[in-house]
Amino acid sequence: MIKYPNGEVYKPVELKKNRKRAFGCKSSSNRGMSLENDITISCEYYNSIDQTCIYKRPTPIKVVRMDKINKAKIVEGYFSMKSTTDYNGIYRGKYMDFEAKETESTTSFSFKNIRSQQITHLRKVSKLGGIAFFVIRFKKLEETYLVDADTLLNYMDLNIRKSFPYKFIKEKGVLIEESYCPRLKLTEAIDKMYFK
Amino acid sequence: MIKYPNGEVYKPVELKKNRKRAFGCKSSSNRGMSLENDITISCEYYNSIDQTCIYKRPTPIKVVRMDKINKAKIVEGYFSMKSTTDYNGIYRGKYMDFEAKETESTTSFSFKNIRSQQITHLRKVSKLGGIAFFVIRFKKLEETYLVDADTLLNYMDLNIRKSFPYKFIKEKGVLIEESYCPRLKLTEAIDKMYFK
């Protein structure tokens, strides 16, 4: 058994796994990870090369009770609902705000997946001059699209259906390409949608 | 005792307190609240009138263990350090990112109050074209200033002192005026500093 000077046991397997996972480098072991994870590690990569400054908003937790002895320990807490979206930050001088969603369906994306607070929030961002969008993954098709929030929300307002047809998203959105590193070519998709 | 149809007891005192606190309306009961609270409720006000979309980033919590029976309940968790700043969002089409700090001193603001991750983060925001600043309150003087991040960080780089003199902050910053509602006239200060 190999030990570090501090007595901790050296674990070569864990080390290998962590290196592979860094900045979303794809391997057979982490293929099929959630969209949220893919986006987070892609943003970590872009942030590390100073191309963006985009972070996932932490899920707010309502802390009810702290430990009486260990003052840093939470012993009763509950996850709260975010009143905004998953991600925000800056890219090419513009404010970015977006929500990530996955669906098992191969034909449509249900309106039910979008919460009313998110609609209000993204409309406001867009009105204030920011870039607001959704990242939608059709898991079974292995396709991920960037779709402008206004485009989606205006379609919802038409009130003709209860979901976005896959074809609509394919036509109006930009396919986000996958790669070894970054996992999702997010900035390339943003460039295609907003900067051309 | 007056009861609601659901059996809950009507509490007029609590109602009054909540109404007063809404959107940072100042009253004797909440005077002297923390700077963070003052900023949060001022932003809530600006967000509600669609002038900004600025939120406090929740403090990330490392969840270690969930309850075995009540799956929504966290029974072991710890607060983690933020790698970024307290607030971000959009105003006048620009990305905003800032950190709020208070000091008991009446003559200076120590460099120790600023963490290295915050320096890195705010420098990056500014480089990417965003607006990065600090909100610094001298508690005993009852004065709150907005100071541009680059101005502060460049002064730190000079390495001539270990704190910002009060005079420097007063001269380079913009005094954020207080009012009944919003508590802090934050957007007015941003306008003075960046849009004139």
The confidence score (pLDDT) of residue B166 equals 98
Task: Give the residue numbers spanning the domain of B185.
Answer: 17-57+85-194
User: Residue B116 pLDDT more than 60?
Assistant: yes
The confidence score (pLDDT) of residue B181 equals 93
Residue A13 lies in a domain: no
Residue A186 lies in a domain: yes
Q: Which residue of A has its CA nearest to B97?
A: A89
Distance, CA of B4 to CA of B15 (rounded, Å): 14
Better-predicted residue by pLDDT, A19 or B149: B149
Residue A178 lies in a domain: yes
The confidence score (pLDDT) of residue A122 equals 97
Distance, CA of A147 to CA of A124 (rounded, Å): 17
Residue A62 lies in a domain: yes
User: Residue B164 pLDDT more than 60?
Assistant: yes
Q: Which residue ranges of chain A lie beneath pLDDT 50?
A: 10, 12-21, 24-31
Residue B51 lies in a domain: yes
Considering only the beta carbons, identify the residue of A76, A93, A130 that sits closest to B128. Answer: A93
The confidence score (pLDDT) of residue A1 equals 54
For residue A76, give how far its alpha carbon lies from the nearest alpha carbon of chain B (Å).
5
Residue A179 lies in a domain: yes
Which residues of A lie closer than 8 Å to B, measured between beta carbons?
47, 50, 52-53, 55, 57-61, 63, 72-79, 83-84, 88-95, 97, 121, 124-125, 127-130
The CB density around residue A32, as the number of other CB atoms within 10 Å, is 8
The confidence score (pLDDT) of residue B9 equals 52
Best of B44, B47, B53, B59 to substitute, by most chain A Cβ atoms within 10 angstroms, is: B53
- List the CATH number of the domain containing B100: 3.40.1350.10
Summarize pLDDT for A20-71 with one digit per residue, the tens. 445 544 444 444 579 999 999 999 999 999 999 999 998 889 999 999 999 8
User: In DSSP terms, which residues pair with B148 in a beta bridge?
Assistant: B133
Residue B5 lies in a domain: no
| Whether B95 and A97 lie within 8 Å, measured CB to CB | no
Q: Give the pTM.
A: 0.83
Secondary structure letter of residue B7 according to DSSP:
S
Distance, CA of A22 to CA of A15 (rounded, Å): 11
The number of folded domains in chain B is: 1
